[in-house]
Copies of this chain bind each other. A is one copy, B any other.
Amino acid sequence: MKKYVYFFSRNDVEGNKDMRDLLGGKGANLAEMSGIGIPVPPGFTVSTDACNLYTSSGNTISEDIQKEILENLSKLENAAGQKFGDKENPLLVSVRSGAKFSMPGMMDTILNLGLNDTTVESLAKKSGVRRFALDCYRRLIHMFGDVVLDVSKKEFETILKTIKDHAGVVNDYDLTEKHMEKVISEYRALVQKGTGKDFPQDVREQLFLAVSAVFSSWNTPRAITYRRLNHLPNDLGTAVNVQLMIFGNFGETSATGVGFTRDPANGRKKLYGEYLVNAQGEDVVAGIRTPSPIENLEEEMPRIFQELKDITTQLENHYKDIQDFEFTIQEDKLYMLQTRSGKRTGQAAVKIAVDLVEEGLISKERAIMLVEPDSLNQLLHPVFDVKEKATHDKIAKGLAASPGAAAGQVVFTANDAVDWKKDGKKIILVRDETSPDDIHGMSASQGLLTATGGMTSHAAVVGRQMGKPAIVGCEALVLNEKEKSFTAGGQKIKEGEWISIDGTSGEVLKGEIKTRPSVIIQVVKGDIKPEESELYLNFSKLLSWADGFRELNVRANADTPEDAQIAFAFGAEGIGLTRTEHMFFDNERLPFIKAMILAETEEERRDNIGKLLPFQRKDFYELFKAMKGNPVTIRTLDPPLHEFLPKKEDLMVEIATLKASGKEDKKKTQELVQLLERVNTLSEFNPMLGHRGCRLGITYPEVIEMQARAIFEAACQLVKEGQNVRPEIMVPLIGSAEELADQKAIIVRVAGELIEQSGIDLDYTVGTMIEIPRAAITAADVAKEAEFFSFGTNDLTQTTFGISRDDGASFINHYLLHGIWKDDPFQTIDIDGVGELMKWAVEKGRQTRPDLKVGICGVHGGDPRSIVFCNKIRLNYVSCSAYQIPIARLAAAQAALKEKDVV
């Protein structure tokens, strides 16, 4: 017969720490601690299998399992020398849930189970303190009422509060026996009222109801949402731990507390925590009494403190990680109730991982696995002071698109942003949405706030790219651009007013909250020496270890020499994506590109393109130089031409206003009408699917010719100057081999001419983005032309799903909230759909060209879960924004280690 219940006591342990699947984290660790001689109150764990069986059999505990629970209960009675429900010497137990992964705040605990009207008096007699027994009983009714019987917690609290107020006391422990009796009586009346039944006096009924309640809690909407947000599977189930009660509320020699073996905020090695004398666990959490810092225990109970230190050190050595523990002291005796790996900040994670290696406790591989890659973000972005933040009005909440904190004065246009910045002001750019011609304003801002857009909208992508905090899709915002104000949360904010945005939480707050830049950034930018920052040293040590294990190369998406320098400082091994069009938006250059678009003859067009050549050549020269001989992938012109022109509706409004005003300037109107005609001709219903990418290059070959010329003139120049250069020219938006062949022919011709003229040697490659499903499907063909592939997973996700990243936010959020999808495919690669195309493309591409280099340069290139997939399908590199390079390096190492099953 299958076993569903596992016993643990000092002498009889049926589980261990590796049985988390079956016993949950808490249960496995209680068993493990019992096994290695740590003082743990004995008890038993009802397994997650029992939970799943409970769910699948319509929320009932089978008779076999009931029987097994009772058998273990009697083992526990023997171990404790007490009897459950006994009049003389009653056994009391705690019931706690415990899933494989900790789900803080999701499940609840019931203490003092086994008390009823009879046993409460036995406990009173046995302990000699009736008030204590009554205190335990009222706690049981409260917790049981809340967790099992679904009576409102708040009503229990109101009763208690009223009685304390009447008694004129502040603390629970100041209530007398009489008061306690009154509390109990009113609690029971509440239960009677809420459920139509009395509080159960049968202790076995109490036990089975409590176990059922824990099992049921697995499927509450709250728990399902939590698992979705944390990417946890739904079919794990939770275990239930039934354990002998230890009383921290048994007078002044008793206490209860929690702690960490190291500081979870900064990682320093030092016992860290807090405790309460004469209290039970929930008192610490409830925050009614202020707990004492754990250091005080050394004075109050020096022997116990030493014992706690020894035990927690033993636990850390045993588990080889920072431990988050709970303990209870009853009458000067210490018991451990829980131990688990401690949650920590990014900063602490890095320090702990490095320290543990240097203390000889763990291997480098293990250290790499100990740090969540995304948590490195916390090391890079400026932060608010938490206490100051709490004093500011929260006016809205949007999508936390780019982490970090920023405060500034509100402006509404990119040009204003630039002007105000020049005046030395800090500003936050607020827009309905941003577009490439806002780049200069975005760059001038402390942070970005938009009313529309999803996690991969322009503002979000550029925000992360620039390492700037950004909140997008903040739907509560109503902009009035004319009046230069917005309203949100019932408040009106005008241009120039201060707001603060927390890109890590999505919160928009009123007023200025001070921020400080991350130390790591200061080192990378050369403002602090590396040796002056322990954090930086640990950070770079960990990443250099990661480099030793990873198989994927890591490159940066960088458009400017500045980006490239930062990427290089962060360890980028090349540039995986340079968006050449970003170079066109500069005010010096925009007139030429506009003139080119408006040109009526090819000659005029060529003329204006020619004027862009020197600018582009200089850009590429500096980019190549910054990358010091590492490969630089340059993408030819990608966006539709109308992005460089004014918006259609703005022109229409301007013309209509001029005409209706009665003081029309005919010539001006005529010009605007002509411009509008051109804009109309170029405007598209679905620009994402329009005349852009290689389609531009094919219809306007002179543009690609100019770009190729700029690239190879710059490269030849550098080679002459003695620097190694490795250009990789990447053609965007290919859907067929024929399109690439057309563009490649131009590039190869121009390159050949220039290299011959220069009389130097220069190796280069021509490849393509794979960002259209058809390019992936026909990869075998495309690889005949392409020397490399780079997955543009932003566009590939858009086209594979038929969802625009800018427009999808509204319904994707709905899908995620309603559990229709588990993940946002724009955040992490959709393995079943997009991933299938990628796998196919890699396989077919390498069948044609075995040495085909394949990378990824969409936003997924910086997403750790996507990086695991990239490693699995054997990409050569991932490319991400400069600020994501550390994340990618670490995630790549983890991916490689996971795949080899090393750790």
Q: Could you tell me which A residues sit within 8 Å of B by CB distance?
A: 432, 478, 648-649, 652-653, 656-662, 677, 680, 684-691, 695, 698-699, 733, 735-736, 738-739, 742, 771-774, 777-778, 781, 795, 798-804, 806-808, 810-811, 814-815, 818, 820-821, 830, 832-834, 836-837
List 26 A-B residue pairs with CB atoms under 8 Å apart, sorted by A's residue number.
A432-B680, A649-B652, A652-B653, A656-B656, A660-B661, A684-B806, A685-B806, A686-B689, A686-B806, A688-B802, A689-B798, A689-B803, A689-B807, A689-B808, A691-B810, A691-B811, A695-B811, A698-B814, A735-B800, A736-B820, A736-B821, A738-B821, A772-B800, A773-B833, A773-B837, A778-B833
Q: Is the CB of A699 within 8 A of B814?
A: yes
Distance in angstroms between the alpha carbons of A370 and B152 in the assembled complex: 82
Dominant SS at the A interface?
helix
With beta carbons under 8 angstroms apart, the residue of B432, B659, B680, B742 that contacts A820 is B742
Q: Is the CB of B699 within 8 A of A802?
A: no
Q: Is the CB of B795 within 8 A of A772?
A: no
Q: Is the CB of B833 within 8 A of A735?
A: yes
Q: Told that A659-B660, A735-B801 touch, could you supply 7 new A-B pairs with CB distance under 8 A? A: A432-B680, A652-B653, A690-B808, A695-B811, A772-B801, A777-B836, A799-B802
Beyond A652-B649, A811-B695, is A685–B688 a contact (Cβ under 8 Å)? yes
Closest chain B residue, CB of each to CB of A735: B801
Distance in angstroms between the alpha carbons of A739 and B811 in the assembled complex: 12
Distance in angstroms between the alpha carbons of A811 and B478 in the assembled complex: 39
Distance in angstroms between the alpha carbons of A662 and B660 in the assembled complex: 8
With beta carbons under 8 angstroms apart, the residue of B648, B691, B803, B821 that contacts A807 is B691
CB distance from A694 to the nearest CB of B (A): 10
Distance in angstroms between the alpha carbons of A695 and B802 in the assembled complex: 11
With beta carbons under 8 angstroms apart, the residue of B686, B777, B802, B833 that contacts A771 is B802
A-B pairs, top 8 by smallest CB distance, nearest first, are A689-B804, A660-B660, A774-B833, A690-B807, A686-B804, A772-B802, A649-B649, A684-B807
Q: Is the CB of B690 within 8 A of A735?
A: no
CB distance from A263 to the nearest CB of B (A): 43
Closest chain B residue, CB of each to CB of A835: B777
Distance in angstroms between the alpha carbons of A576 and B808 in the assembled complex: 29
Chain B residues in 8 Å Cβ range of A742: 818, 820
Q: Is the CB of B774 within 8 A of A804?
A: no
With beta carbons under 8 angstroms apart, the residue of B686, B698, B772, B834 that contacts A688 is B686
Q: Is the CB of A698 within 8 A of B795?
A: no
Beyond A652-B649, A691-B807, A811-B691, is A800–B774 a contact (Cβ under 8 Å)? yes
With beta carbons under 8 angstroms apart, the residue of B648, B689, B833 that contacts A777 is B833
Q: Is the CB of B648 within 8 A of A656?
A: no
Chain B residues in 8 Å Cβ range of A649: 648-649, 652
Chain B residues in 8 Å Cβ range of A685: 687-688, 804, 806-807
Closest chain B residue, CB of each to CB of A453: B685
Distance in angstroms between the alpha carbons of A660 and B832 in the assembled complex: 55
Chain B residues in 8 Å Cβ range of A804: 684-686, 688-690
Chain B residues in 8 Å Cβ range of A832: 777-778, 781
Chain B residues in 8 Å Cβ range of A833: 735-736, 773-774, 777-778
Chain B residues in 8 Å Cβ range of A691: 807-808, 810-811
Chain B residues in 8 Å Cβ range of A657: 656-657, 659-660
Closest chain B residue, CB of each to CB of A648: B649
Q: Which of A739, A773, A833, A834 has the most CB of B within 10 A?
A: A773
Chain B residues in 8 Å Cβ range of A772: 800-802
Chain B residues in 8 Å Cβ range of A735: 800-803, 833
Distance in angstroms between the alpha carbons of A774 and B690 in the assembled complex: 21
CB distance from A259 to the nearest CB of B (A): 43
Distance in angstroms between the alpha carbons of A439 and B890 in the assembled complex: 57
Closest chain B residue, CB of each to CB of A797: B774
Distance in angstroms between the alpha carbons of A680 and B432 in the assembled complex: 10
Q: Is the CB of B810 within 8 A of A699?
A: yes
CB distance from A596 to the nearest CB of B (A): 17
Distance in angstroms between the alpha carbons of A798 and B801 in the assembled complex: 12
Distance in angstroms between the alpha carbons of A383 and B446 in the assembled complex: 67
Q: Which of A778, A821, A832 has the most CB of B within 10 A?
A: A832
Q: Is the CB of A815 within 8 A of B688?
A: no
Distance in angstroms between the alpha carbons of A698 and B818 in the assembled complex: 10
Q: Is the CB of B774 within 8 A of A830?
A: yes
Chain B residues in 8 Å Cβ range of A656: 653, 656-657, 660
CB distance from A645 to the nearest CB of B (A): 15
CB distance from A772 to the nearest CB of B (A): 4
Distance in angstroms between the alpha carbons of A432 and B680 in the assembled complex: 10
CB distance from A219 to the nearest CB of B (A): 18
Q: Is the CB of B686 within 8 A of A811?
A: no
Distance in angstroms between the alpha carbons of A480 and B677 in the assembled complex: 11
CB distance from A832 to the nearest CB of B (A): 6
Q: Is the CB of A733 within 8 A of B802?
A: yes
Distance in angstroms between the alpha carbons of A800 and B837 in the assembled complex: 11
Closest chain B residue, CB of each to CB of A739: B820
Q: Is the CB of B798 within 8 A of A773?
A: no
CB distance from A519 to the nearest CB of B (A): 39
Chain B residues in 8 Å Cβ range of A814: 698-699
CB distance from A33 to the nearest CB of B (A): 42
CB distance from A618 to the nearest CB of B (A): 31
Distance in angstroms between the alpha carbons of A120 and B680 in the assembled complex: 66
Q: Is the CB of B837 within 8 A of A698?
A: no
CB distance from A687 to the nearest CB of B (A): 7
Q: Is the CB of B777 within 8 A of A800?
A: yes
Distance in angstroms between the alpha carbons of A274 and B41 in the assembled complex: 113
CB distance from A340 to the nearest CB of B (A): 33
Chain B residues in 8 Å Cβ range of A821: 736, 738
Distance in angstroms between the alpha carbons of A687 and B685 in the assembled complex: 7
Chain B residues in 8 Å Cβ range of A661: 660
Closest chain B residue, CB of each to CB of A433: B685
Closest chain B residue, CB of each to CB of A653: B656
CB distance from A674 to the nearest CB of B (A): 12
Closest chain B residue, CB of each to CB of A452: B681
CB distance from A609 to the nearest CB of B (A): 18
CB distance from A398 to the nearest CB of B (A): 15
CB distance from A842 to the nearest CB of B (A): 15
With beta carbons under 8 angstroms apart, the residue of B689, B818, B820 that contacts A802 is B689
Chain B residues in 8 Å Cβ range of A795: 802
Closest chain B residue, CB of each to CB of A833: B774
Closest chain B residue, CB of each to CB of A475: B681
CB distance from A807 to the nearest CB of B (A): 4
With beta carbons under 8 angstroms apart, the residue of B648, B698, B800 that contacts A811 is B698
CB distance from A405 to the nearest CB of B (A): 29
Q: Is the CB of B773 within 8 A of A799?
A: yes
